Structure 1
Amino acid sequence: MKRKLLVVAVAAILGTAGYAILKGPNLQKKNPDAGMTMQEIKARDDQSKENWAYSLGVQAYVYGLPLKIFERERRLRLNERKLDFVMSRKICPCAPINEFGHMTKLATADDTLPYTPNNDTIYSGVLLELKDEPVVVTIPDVLDRYWSAQIADAYLENLPYIGIRSTGGKGGNFLFVGPDWQGEVPEGLSLRRMPTNSAVIALRYGIAKDSPEEIAKVMEIQKQVFTTSLSNWGKEDGFGKVNPVQMERKEYDGDLALFEQMADLLNENPPREHQRDAVGMFQSIGIELGKPFAGDALDSAIQRGLKRALDDVDNIMVWKVKYRGTPYATRWNNLHEGEYGYHFINRAEGALEGLLVHSREEGVYFSTYEDVEANLLDGSQKYVLHFEKDEIPQLQDKGFWSLTMYGTNFQLIDNEIDRYSIGDRNTDLQYNDDGSLTIYIQHEKPEGLESNWLPSPDEGLFRINYRIYLPGEETRNPQTLHKFLPGIQKVQQG
């Protein structure tokens, strides 16, 4: 009764004006075709259909971009010639599918990596394909340093970690299985069920930058990292042996090849259950779970809209990557964490720039192309970044922070002292008497201040990433982290 009275009261208050608001301005036009020729009506309707397909095409591209990037990594590992090349050049921590690959050094300007590298941790990684058989991943206990095993599905969305924060540094034997696997878990294995049959693990081990023997220590840890096909587990001489993975990959061509590939990737690794409804909106452009994409059968206006979308999406993603995350007044952008929910544009930008992005408890990332006055950072200029004592990041145990210099290609900048980042692990870092800290960002060596120098290029634009690993509560809380984000100040040169 109360609900009925409320409805009557609202109706009385709104009256006819309220009805018009609810009805919507575009629906009030009783005859939208009035005064138009048949040819004009058809042209308008075709253009509208094309625009609708264009808008859905952009959204479909954004939704499926992580799958395409995962496919890039998969095809690399399935191509023996290319894989041998990148493994010999140490371009990435790559290895055949279901096997760990290891970097044996920190990234430098000599490396050209397919993602934004850090200069803080040594990478290991494995691409898992679990449809045919589960894989046991063995990781040793490491208690004396930062480390994390970041685990993500085919959409590059994070799943629960293993590492110094999440498991107290304890490793173990973990059975990774696909969403449909049914079987008995052998004794001594911890089950990790993935929402997709394809998954990835990124292992990061932190090192003290001024300690060369640290790399040797991490390489010894890497020797204790194994993968074993479940059918080999428990067999004599079976530990550490992975059965070869064979996967046929289709080649695509034509104007709408990307959407055809995207539909196949969606069917190969359907989205998590709670996100499947999001794919339903793409049915009118020919992308539907369980069905192949038939671009030639689509209406010509829809085809035109999809082609237009493909013309624009690269620039859209360039813009989004450049200004990704939450902006702050000091011109830093807080990058979105790797648990995206329905924020598919954030997921796409994270996959495109960094492949994998940490969850907030594990690390918070910031980037900027600008000084505090919103001018683009330029190698011909000099800058300082000054942290008051209470602006220096608060950290959890084994946490640390760094500032890393990048070119516009997201790679590290060559410089005369081979310093690509600076942070609290630089043992010669000099703090001011009041506990504050000043970092000098410029191409020329700042005489007498070299310990606090982050070298920039001699000219041209650059950007800086600010990473905080294992941030404390205030440092990772979106409501308070602004306290740790001083702006980069341009030095006036007279």
Structure 2
Amino acid sequence: MKLKLFLLALIAVVGTAAFYVIKGPNLQKKNPDAGLTMQEIKIRDEAAQENWAYSLGVQAYVYGLPLKITERERRLRLNERKLNFVMEREICPCAPINQFGHMKKLATADDSLPYTPNNDTVYSGALIELRDEPLVVTLPDVMDRYWSAQIADSYLENVTYLGSRATGGKGGNFLFVGPDWHGKVPEGMTLIRIPTYSGVIALRYGIEKDAPNEMQKIYDIQKQVATTNLSFWDQKDGFGKIKPIHMERKDYDGDLAFFEQMADLLNEYPPRDHLKASVGMFQSIGIELGKPFNQDLLHPATIRGLKRALADMTDIMTWKVKYRGTAFPTGWNNLHQGTYGYHFINRAEGALEGLLVHNREEGVYFSTYEDRDANLLDGSERYVLHFEKDQIPQLQDKGFWSLTMYGTNFQLVGNEINRYSIGDRNKDLQYNDDGSLTIYIQATEPEGKTSNWLPSPPDGLFRINYRIYLPNEKTRNPDTLLQFIPGIKKVSYNEGI
């Protein structure tokens, strides 16, 4: 009897499985061309080939986008006229390759920066090239404020950190070398190996906005930041000397210029060893390590698929940047940290919108276009963000948090009190009697609540970024951070707030 019941159950399971197999594509079909004319077969097969190329083209674009953005920054620094223009106007913390550029103020609504700027730290930055020789980077000790040196490779993926958390605020002399350098490290230097021959160093120095002489203190720190070619290090008067970088860069045009340039950049700056195999699937669309892209070798159907992919990528990346990272039920999206592994879409969105993204230990970032009920944030409405006492972020030493207002162009929003962000460093922030905190988000000044007001644009879509620098384990852990990201609540105009 038991055997009979077992056989009946087995038949039922097999029957159910067979049902689902029959409903899917019939992979067992022996003659898929039966009943079709030669022309119909050709049309069907070329459509399939085009779709396959389309899917690979989308993935290749995502994979190569960070390299393209790094190349944009490299070409800017190789063009003296453009570089001088952006340096004079402080459009970015830019300088010639292997030198630091320094911003002299916090970002404001008057700036138009090539990334989503914060209003919390003063930026310095350097694009480094290590193919010819190593570079010595000298940074001062900074113990009285938050600071970090975020170091990334050509793919804008984090390599390591220096700063308040990573080195206890200590600076020093750091020898940056490429992947194949095997020389002797001078005494007293710390070796930092970059897995590609180029990289990025993003320096951030925290500032107390309401404290006196803060910018002068930042200037004094910036004056102590230096770069020196290793060959000059032991020379008299060699400190701070840099050899000019001259690099020939090819111009690209045509419908598939993106893929042609991507192939060249992959060969110039190969991916990290453990990621090289991930490029293998792009061979059938003409992208292969060690080889140039040659459109003439591609089938017309493949070319059509790649053109379609390029045509769709603006919309795809616009969607992905808007809803970056992991969505939480309170309406916030937690951005993926800047060590991406095989999450190439997260790497691409991070490079496109923010250039660089912190690792969780350094900072957790959230963004939203929506209130807690999944309605888009509208400047014509009023909102509140309420933190119960135990929802206020928990921090490490020198940590802080902020909420920053952005327009749809990822730039800061102008307002009558020139307040672009609000957080725990605002000295006049008013907490409720029970230790909770309410932030008022609206275009018009809330009566009696100015100290807790984050001004929004008068109408249209806006976005808020929520940054927590140096969060503790509970605040940064994806399993527990929901406690610290309450949803934004819409408040009607006839409802008291």
Q: TM-score scaled by structure 2?
A: 0.95
Residue 226 of structure 1 corresponds to 226
Deviation, structure 1 residue 48: 0.3
Letter in 1 for 2:156: L
Note the C-alpha offset of 1:228: 0.1
Alignment of 1:54-133 (within 5 A): 54-133=54-133
Aligned to 2:147: 147
Distance 1:390 1:17 in 2: 50
* Structure 1 residue 180 displacement after superposition: 1.2
One-letter amino acid of the structure 1 residue matched with residue 115 of structure 2: Y
1:48 aligns with 2:24: no
Give the aligned partner of residue 427 of structure 1: 427
Which whole-Å deviations, capped at 9, do the CAs of 1:156-184 have from their partners, x for residues lacking one?
00011000001101111011011111211
Where does 1:40-439 land on structure 2 (aligned, <5 Å)?
Answer: 40-439=40-439
**Letter in structure 1 aligned against 2:448:** G
Displacement of 1:473 in angstroms is 1.0
Q: Structure 1, unaligned stretches of length 5 or more? A: 1-10
Is the alpha carbon distance of 1:330 and 1:18 closer, same or farther for their aligned partners in structure 2, counting shifts above 3 Å? closer
User: Given residue 270 of structure 2, which amino acid in structure 1 is its aligned partner?
Assistant: P
CA distance in 1, matches of 2:189, 2:19: 63
1:17 Cα offset (Å): 8.3
Comparing 92-101 and 173-182, the one that deviates more = 173-182
Separation (CA, whole Å) in 2 of partners of 1:15 and 1:415 = 67
Amino acid of the residue matched to residue 157 of structure 2?
E
**Aligned partner letter, 1:392:** I
After superposition, give the CA deviation of every residue in 1:275-332 in whole Å (9 maximum; x if it has no partner): 0110000000000000000012211000000000000011000000001111111100
Q: How far has the Cα of 1:147 moved from its partner? A: 0.3
- Post-superposition shift, 1:25? 4.1
Listed one character per residue, the Cα deviations across residues 99-122 of structure 1 (whole Å, up to 9, x for unaligned) are: 000001100001000000000000
**d(CA) in 2 for partners of 1:211 and 1:425?**
10
Output the CA distance in 2 between the equivalents of 1:143 and 1:37: 77
Structure 2 CA distance for aligned equivalents of residues 214 and 186 of structure 1: 35
Match of 1:33 in 2: 33
**Cα distance, 1:21 vs. partner?**
8.0
Mapped partners of 2:169, 2:382: distance in 1: 41
Q: C-alpha separation between the residues in 2 aligned to 1:195 and 1:82?
A: 29
1:122-153 Cα shifts (integer Å, max 9, x gaps): 00000000001110000011111100000000
Structure 2 gap ranges (5+): 1-9
**Alpha-carbon distance in 2 for matches of 1:52, 1:457:** 44
In 1: Cα distance, 2:469 partner to 2:55 partner: 38
Q: 1:276 corresponds to which letter in structure 2?
A: K
Once residues 147 and 387 of structure 2 are traced to their aligned partners in structure 1, the CA distance between those partners, rounded to angstroms, is 27
CA 1:272–1:12 in structure 2 vs 1: closer, same or farther (change >3 Å)?
A: farther
The equivalent of 1:3 in structure 2 is none
Q: Secondary structure at the match of 1:353?
A: helix
1:199-225 alpha-carbon deviations (Å, 9 max, x no partner): 000000001111241111011000000
* Per-residue deviation, 1:12: 11
Question: Residues 63-119 of structure 1, C-alpha deviation per residue, up to 9 Å, x if partnerless?
Answer: 000000000100000000000000000110000000000001100001000000000
Q: Which residue of 2 aligns with 1:451?
A: 451
C-alpha change, 1:22 and 1:281, in structure 2 (3 Å) is farther
* Paired residue secondary structure (1:281): helix
SS in 2 for 1:27: coil
Cα separation, 2, equivalents of 1:303 and 1:485? 46
1:479 maps to what in 2?
479
CA distance in 2, matches of 1:249, 1:19: 58
Determine the C-alpha separation between the residues in 2 that align with 1:25 and 1:53: 21
Secondary structure at 2:469's aligned position in 1?
strand
Partner of 2:7: none
SS at match of 1:366: strand
How far apart, in 2, do the equivalents of 1:56 and 1:453 lie? 47
Give 3-state SS (helix, strand or coil) of 2:82's partner.
helix
Cα deviation, residue 14, structure 1: 8.2
CA distance in 1, matches of 2:160, 2:26: 47
Partner residue, 2:3: none
**What amino acid sits opposite 1:203 in the alignment?**
L
Residue 6 of structure 1 corresponds to which residue in structure 2?
A: none
Instruction: Tell me the alpha carbon deviations over residues 408-440 of structure 1, each in whole angstroms, 9 at most, x when there is no partner.
Output: 000000001110000000000000000000001
Please give the root-mean-square deviation of Cα atoms over the aligned residues, in Å: 1.6
Give distance in 2, aligned partners of 1:362 and 1:230: 29
Counterpart of 2:233, as a letter, is: W
Q: 1:403 is paired with a residue of what secondary structure?
A: strand
Q: Which amino acid aligns with 2:307?
A: K
- Displacement of 1:187 in angstroms is 1.4
Deviation, 1:28, is 1.6
The CA distance in 2 between the partners of 1:46 and 1:306, in whole Å, is 13
The CA distance in 2 between the partners of 1:436 and 1:15, in whole Å, is 58
SS across alignment from 2:36: coil
Alpha carbons of structure 1 residues 212 and 109: separation in structure 2 relative to 1, 3 Å: farther
Secondary structure of 1:457's aligned partner: coil
Aligned positions, number: 484
Moved over 3 A (4+): 11-26
Cα separation, partners in 2 of 1:145 and 1:16, compared to 1, 3 Å:
same
| Offset from partner CA, 1:214-265 (integer Å, 9 cap, x none) | 1110110000000000110110000001100010000001110110000000
SS in 2 for 1:441: strand
Q: Could you tell me how far apart the structure 2 residues matched to 1:379 and 1:420 are?
A: 15
Identity of aligned pairs, percent?
76
The CA distance in 1 between the partners of 2:320 and 2:15, in whole Å, is 43
